[in-house]
C-alpha cells in the first residue's frame, strides 16, 4: 500500500502508521511540527517501512498548506492511492466553554478545515480513477450529549460529510471510510475516566486497517461502541437531559 498519513506522530495515528510500516508499506507523513515529522519518519523506517518515508509540513489550522503538502506526497509516491486523516484537536466541554478562542480552533480544525483538506484529496483521487480516503471522526458526533456539545458538533458534521462522499462518489471509485472511535487510551484521553470497554490504539489500528483494505464505509472502534451509540440514539430527549453521558 502507498499511504499518506496525516496525524501519524501520536495516538491512534501513530499506532496505524507503525502497523503499516511493519508490513513494509510505502508511507508519506503530514504534520505541522518538523521535529515530530523527522522523529516519526525515522521510527517508521526502523520498523520496516519502505524507504524513504517522505514528509511534508501540513497544518489543519492553515489551509494554505494543504495543496503544497499533497503535491509533495504525489511526487514522492507517484500519485495518491490511500490517504488517512487522524489529526485533529480536542478539548473537554468545560475547556471549550471557558476559552472561546480555543473552541474556535477546535471547531475550525475538526470540521471546516478537515473537510477542506479532504476535498483536496477527493479531487486528486478521482482524477486518478479513485482511491481510499479514511478519516477519523468520533462517536461524539452520533448524538448531542452534555459532555461533548461543541466537540461532538464538529464531529457530527464530519461524519455526515464522509457519508455524503460515500453516497456520491463510490461509483466513481472513491472509497470513503469513516472511523468512529469511542474511548481509546491515548494522550488525548489522559486524565479522563475510561469506561469498562476502553480501547487500545494497537487494536484500533488493526481494525481500521481491515476497514481500509475492504473499503468499509463506517467502522466503530472498539466495536462495542456501535451498540452503545445505538442505545444512546434511541433515548428520548427528556432522558438525555437527565443523564450525564
In 3D space, the residue among 140, 149, 145 whose CA is nearest the CA of residue 183 turns out to be: 140
Catalytic residue among 66, 151, 161, 220: 151
Q: In terms of DSSP H, where are the helices of the chain?
A: 11-22, 34-46, 66-77, 93-98, 100-107, 113-127, 149-169, 201-214, 224-234, 237-242
What kind and span of H or E run contains 136? strand 131-136
151 has catalytic annotation = yes
d(CA 109, CA 82): 21
Burial class (CB in 10 A: 0-12, 13-18, 19+), 35: exposed
Non-local CB neighbours of 119 within 8 Å, separated by 6+ positions: none
Q: Hey, CA dihedral for 64, 208, 36, 21, is it positive or negative?
A: negative
Provide the annotated active-site residues.
151
Amino acid at each position: 500500500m502507498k499511504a499518506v498519513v496525516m496525524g501519524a506522530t501520536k495516538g491512534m495515528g501513530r499506532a496505524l502508521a507503525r502497523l503499516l510500516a511493519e508490513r513494509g508499506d510505502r508511507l508519506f507523513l503530514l504534520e505541522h511540527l518538523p521535529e515530530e515529522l523527522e522523529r516519526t519518519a525515522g521510527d517508521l523506517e526502523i520498523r520496516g517501512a519502505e524507504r524513504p518515508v517522505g514528509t511534508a509540513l501540513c497544518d489543519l489550522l492553515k489551509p494554505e498548506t494543504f495543496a503544497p503538502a499533497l503535491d509533495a506526497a504525489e511526487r514522492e509516491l507517484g500519485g495518491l492511492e490511500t490517504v488517512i486523516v487522524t489529526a485533529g484537536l480536542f478539548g473537554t466541554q468545560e475547556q471549550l466553554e471557558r476559552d472561546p478562542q480555543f473552541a474556535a480552533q477546535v471547531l475550525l480544525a475538526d470540521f471546516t478545515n478537515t473537510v477542506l483538506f479532504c476535498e483536496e484529496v477527493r479531487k486528486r483521487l478521482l482524477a486518478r480513477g479513485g482511491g481510499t480516503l479514511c478519516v477519523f471522526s468520533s462517536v461524539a458526533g452520533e448524538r448531542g450529549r452534555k459532555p461533548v456539545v461543541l466537540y461532538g458538533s464538529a464531529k457530527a458534521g464530519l461524519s455526515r460529510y464522509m457519508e455524503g462522499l460515500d453516497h456520491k462518489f463510490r461509483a466513481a471509485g472513491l472509497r470513503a471510510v469513516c472511523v468512529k472511535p469511542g474511548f481509546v487510551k491515548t494522550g488525548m484521553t489522559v486524565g479522563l475516566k475510561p469506561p469498562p470497554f476502553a480501547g487500545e490504539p494497537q487494536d484500533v489500528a488493526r481494525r481500521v486497517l481491515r476497514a481500509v483494505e475492504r473499503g468499509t464505509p463506517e467502522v466503530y472502534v472498539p466495536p462495542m461502541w456501535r451498540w452503545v451509540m445505538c442505545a444512546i440514539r434511541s433515548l428520548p430527549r427528556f432522558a438525555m437531559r437527565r443523564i450525564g453521558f
